Structure 1
């Protein structure tokens, strides 16, 4: 489990590998500057070493170029997957000054944003996966309010009742414990990233 806290954001990430596998095919990375928070979750196709190699390539390129905009980063993610297994990729940037999310996803990764006023936003991903082939990206922008929460998870998890999970106004530590208890996953690589925007 990874925990990250700054003045304006708090994030927890939790990951488990498929039972019997020494490599986890999911990879994630997040960091924040004074201007923005950026987060990527990559789910390499299948499981094991080649899935790990694909997701790791995505993570490395985002880590190296996180100052770029989301469209440019998605193109880079796609390019690094040429001759590799391929990966589902979700990527977003939170701009603190404008209180805006910029989000793009290709593949079966779910994202939810729950505002303090009770609105649940869940942008639909583009189907398929990144593999270096020409790809259309659907980048979306939406605003958020203080005390909003977000949840991003790979398809190794099938989390239900997202709204009631996030609207309880519990600290994210407790929500993440709830998710781990209710959805123990060993049948596939599984990752969730849970955050609170302060």
Structure 2
């Protein structure tokens, strides 16, 4: 489990490869500045080394261009997947000053956000996957309140009552460990990132 701490955000990330694989086909990257938090999760098609190669190409290009907006980063991600196996890709960028975040996803990665006033945000992803071919990209913007929580996960994640869980635990570490203990899949790679916007 990775613990990511920033003045305006706390997050935990967990990743587990499919049983028998040395490579996890999922890759993620998180960074923060005084102005923003940026997170990308990519799930390479299939599993193993070639899935990892695709997902890692996505996180690398996002890591190299953190100042870009989400739509541009999605276009960059699609471009680097040309002649690779392909990947589902989700990118989240939080603007601290305006208490807004942008989110975009192509493929079977899921994202949920829950605010202190009870709003539940669940942007629908674009179906399919990125592979370098022309791709429809849908970027959405949402406002958030202090102490809003979010969860983003790949499709190997054991399905839980996300809304209830995001509101059920006082501490982020307790929530993250509860989510981790629920992940018992041996048939797929699994990655989740859970966070609190302070």
CA contact (8 A) 1:159 1:183 kept: no
Once residues 119 and 186 of structure 2 are traced to their aligned partners in structure 1, the CA distance between those partners, rounded to angstroms, is 32
CA contact (8 A) 1:110 1:154 kept: yes
User: In terms of mean alpha carbon deviation, does 159-168 or 138-147 score higher?
Assistant: 159-168
The 5 A counterparts of 1:172-187 are 172-187=172-187
- 1:158 is matched with 158
User: In terms of mean alpha carbon deviation, does 183-192 or 134-143 score higher?
Assistant: 183-192
SS at match of 2:20: coil
SS at match of 1:102: strand
Runs in 1 of length 4+ with deviation above 3 angstroms?
none
Once residues 123 and 196 of structure 1 are traced to their aligned partners in structure 2, the CA distance between those partners, rounded to angstroms, is 18
- 1:134 is matched with 134
Once residues 15 and 31 of structure 1 are traced to their aligned partners in structure 2, the CA distance between those partners, rounded to angstroms, is 17
> What are the superposed Cα offsets for residues 20-47 of structure 1, whole Å, 9 maximum, x if unpaired?
0000000000100110000000000000
Pair 158,182 (structure 1): closer, same or farther in 2 beyond 3 Å: closer
CA contact (8 A) 2:169 2:175 kept: no
Once residues 158 and 109 of structure 2 are traced to their aligned partners in structure 1, the CA distance between those partners, rounded to angstroms, is 10
Unpaired segments ≥5 residues, structure 1 = none
Once residues 182 and 69 of structure 1 are traced to their aligned partners in structure 2, the CA distance between those partners, rounded to angstroms, is 34
- 2:97 is matched with 97
Once residues 156 and 168 of structure 2 are traced to their aligned partners in structure 1, the CA distance between those partners, rounded to angstroms, is 24
The 5 A counterparts of 1:38-57 are 38-57=38-57
Shift of 1:185: 2.2
SS at match of 1:167: helix
Unpaired segments ≥5 residues, structure 2 = none
With structure 2 as the length reference, what TM-score do the two structures score? 0.98
The 5 A counterparts of 1:23-38 are 23-38=23-38
> What are the superposed Cα offsets for residues 54-91 of structure 1, whole Å, 9 maximum, x if unpaired?
00000100000011011111000000000000000000
> What are the superposed Cα offsets for residues 152-193 of structure 1, whole Å, 9 maximum, x if unpaired?
000001322111101124211111111122232221000000
CA contact (8 A) 1:16 1:186 kept: no
- 1:78 is matched with 78
- 2:144 is matched with 144
In the alignment, is residue 7 of structure 1 matched against residue 4 of structure 2? Answer: no
Once residues 158 and 191 of structure 1 are traced to their aligned partners in structure 2, the CA distance between those partners, rounded to angstroms, is 10
SS at match of 1:163: helix
With structure 1 as the length reference, what TM-score do the two structures score? 0.98
CA RMSD, 1 decimal: 0.8
